[in-house]
Amino acid sequence: MNETPLRELIPAVTGVLVRRGADFATAEDAVQEALIRALASWPTDPPADPKGWLITVAWRRFLDVTRAESARQAREARVEAEPQPGPATDTDDTLQLYFLCAHPSLTPGSAVALTLRAVGGLTTRQIADAYMVPEATMAQRISRAKRTVSGVRFDEPGNLATVLRVLYLVFNEGYSGEVDLAEEAIRLTRQLTSMTDGEEAAGLHALMLLHHARRAARMTPEGALVPLAEQDRTRWDSELIAEGVAILQIALAHDRLGEYQAQAAIAALHADAQTAEETDWAQIVEWYDELDRLTDNPVVRLNRAVAVGEAVGPHAGLAALEQVDAAVPRRTAVEAYLRERTGDLALAARLYSDAARTASNLAERDHLTRQAARLHDVPRVLREKELRHR
Amino acid sequence: MAKYLLLKHYRGGPTPVVEFEPLDRWAPDKVDAHIQYMHDFAAKLEGTGEFVDGQALSPEGTFVRYDGEDRPPVTDGPFAETKDVIAGWMVIDVETYERAVELAGELSAAPGPDGKPIYEWLELRPFLTEAPAVTE
């Protein structure tokens, strides 16, 4: 069964329960229960009205739970006494859920888990699987997150910046479990942009599409990292690129630049180049300058040094690198690359080895180890060549 | 979130702050208290949504290696006095490195034969992650 249409209904169903007077935490649990039942029964017995089915099952579940907790009458009296919220649409409810699940009081990890469950409609087991932790741990992480936001009013104005940060994390740091988190992040961001007119939401959407377009070319079938310059660009998804560029252009036209739009612009410039040599590095450097002004992020300055290295030359790149703190991850890898281009192969080989030792992810470490091995191998290759020439 | 391994050694690592007899020489109730502390710590981390896995290892291990085609693997050991013996591990999934250090410090305070913290050195190792999707 394609679970996406079912998942899309989840936030609206939670919204209906909350508007009937249920508290968010209990309502969300009841909807999760209904979701699990739907996943079990819909493949063989699909309902005529899926949303109505979910509301009925979730509401019944909510009443069962609250009845067990306290006398039903007391509960109903309380619900009765609460002022009924004004008319609301599914869109309002869903948008409020985005805000609530990415509330600034939550840590990033909790906000990611809660968003995937309450907005994404994933089961706890699927989220646990995606982040490689036991289901019991993920269940606790989610219920703690719900306790943290229990005092937040459902209709409180939200913070779009934290929502975007959470969606970016889901896209960027997902593992490949049963659910494709990159696809899920794109779906949730697309849905968000349909409910808000923020340029940065559009910028993030474009950024995701432009990076996702390269996914097939980013790794070899064996899982080895392929650097951007060496990727087979015919394997980039041109439809996703076109969609990403179109979304970005509309966002940029509003002239309210933000970090996601600037990052997307850089990705778009890469996407635009038919070959690595055609890349407009000068313009990419300008976008990094914009990004640097917007974020004050040392990683941006590191990536800028790479771009300067390509636009001007490796010595200029190394000069730009001097302004990057030595503790910034991947700095040594960048220096290795630039040193190799200046012709200092011995130093480059040593730096690649150092960078491999401190790499934080496996694919990058293996890639850097191969680079070091390639350069350490140069003297032997040269010697053999020399022998053949004699 | 980031995953870390908390590695508990029987021997090896920096010089112990306090020297103790091995666990099998402690008073039984002190052994129980020590083990209970580990269980409580794991249960607490499950409650905070940070627990991934915890396992204890037998101190006696065997070294095994390939010995050429059509030959059975060669085994060696166990060795009574190897320099470093791993007693067990715990895997945690936390927001920051600082949180990982805080938790390791807490686990290191498990009670010893006199009921006071043993100040044991724990080794903290980050897991290598998946490659991020956004690279430039």
List A residues 261-300 in contact with B (Cβ-Cβ < 8 A). Answer: 263, 266-267, 270
Contact B88, B114 (CB under 8 A): no
How does residue A176 score in pLDDT terms, banded at 50, 70 and 90? low
Q: What is the pLDDT of residues A157-169, one digit of tens each?
A: 889 999 999 999 9
Contact B5, B107 (CB under 8 A): no
User: Are residues A362 and B48, on separate chains, in Cβ contact within 8 Å?
Assistant: no
* Distance between CA atoms of residues A52 and A11, nearest Å: 13
What average pLDDT does the segment A80-94 reach? 66
**Taking the CB of residue A340, how many other CB atoms lie within 10 A of it?**
20
How does residue B90 score in pLDDT terms, banded at 50, 70 and 90? very high
How does residue A296 score in pLDDT terms, banded at 50, 70 and 90? confident
**Kind of pairing between the strands at B74-76 and B2-11:** unpaired
Q: Of residues B75 and B13, which shows the higher confidence score? A: B75
DSSP character string of A54-114: HHHHHHHHHHHHHHHHS-HHHHHHHHHHSPPP----HHHHHHHHHHHHT-TTS-HHHHHHH
Model ipTM value = 0.89
How does residue A35 score in pLDDT terms, banded at 50, 70 and 90? very high
Whether the pLDDT of residue B58 is over 90: the answer is no
Nearest residue of B to residue A177, measured between CA atoms: B130
pLDDT number for residue A175? 64
DSSP character string of A199-251: HHHHHHHHHHHHHHTTHHHHB-TT--B--GGGS-GGGS-HHHHHHHHHHHHHH
The set of residues, in sequence order, having a beta carbon less than 8 Å from that of B6 and lying 6+ positions away, is B89, B90, B91, B92, B103, B104, B107, B122, B123, B124
Q: What is the pLDDT of residues A116-168, one digit of tens each?
A: 999 999 999 999 999 999 999 999 999 999 999 999 988 888 899 999 999 99
A117, A135, A141, A143: best to mutate for the B interface, most B CBs within 10 A: A141
Map residue A138 onto helix, strand or coil: helix
- Would an 8 Å CB–CB cutoff place A194 in contact with chain B? no
User: Are residues A138 and B134, on separate chains, in Cβ contact within 8 Å?
Assistant: no
pLDDT number for residue A75? 57
Whether the pLDDT of residue A218 is over 90: the answer is yes
Whether the pLDDT of residue A87 is over 60: the answer is no
Please report, rounded to a whole number, the percentage of residues in chain A having pLDDT higher than 90: 82
Distances (CA, A) of A363 to A286, A376, B126, B128: 30, 20, 15, 9
pLDDT number for residue A88? 65
What average pLDDT does the segment A93-102 reach? 94
User: Are residues B49 and A144, on separate chains, in Cβ contact within 8 Å?
Assistant: yes
pLDDT number for residue A73? 60
Q: Of residues B126 and B22, which shows the higher confidence score? A: B126
* Distance between CA atoms of residues A294 and A257, nearest Å: 9
pLDDT number for residue B136? 80
* Distance between CA atoms of residues A246 and A105, nearest Å: 35
DSSP-derived secondary structure letter, A173: S
What average pLDDT does the segment A307-324 reach? 97
The set of residues, in sequence order, having a beta carbon less than 8 Å from that of B25 and lying 6+ positions away, is B113
What average pLDDT does the segment B49-74 reach? 93
Look at A225-229, B78-82, B113-117 and tell me which has the smallest mean pLDDT.
Answer: B78-82
pLDDT number for residue B19? 83
User: Are residues B52 and A266, on separate chains, in Cβ contact within 8 Å?
Assistant: no
* Distance between CA atoms of residues A155 and A92, nearest Å: 9
* Distance between CA atoms of residues A122 and A143, nearest Å: 15
Whether the pLDDT of residue A56 is over 90: the answer is yes
Instruction: Find the helix or strand (DSSP H, E) in which A13 lies.
Output: helix A4-19
pLDDT number for residue B53? 96
Domain residue spans in chain A?
Answer: 344-390
User: Are residues B136 and A215, on separate chains, in Cβ contact within 8 Å?
Assistant: no
A173, A263, A306: best to mutate for the B interface, most B CBs within 10 A: A173
Specify the CATH number of the domain B2-126: 3.30.70.1060
Contact A24, A93 (CB under 8 A): no
How does residue A178 score in pLDDT terms, banded at 50, 70 and 90? confident
pLDDT number for residue A277? 95
Map tokens 């300008």 to a residue. A286
Whether the pLDDT of residue B82 is over 70: the answer is no
Q: How far is B76 from chain A (nearest CA, A)?
A: 30
Question: What is chain A's mean pLDDT, rounded?
Answer: 92
Q: Is A209 exposed, middle or buried (0-12, 13-18, 19+ CB in 10 A)?
A: buried
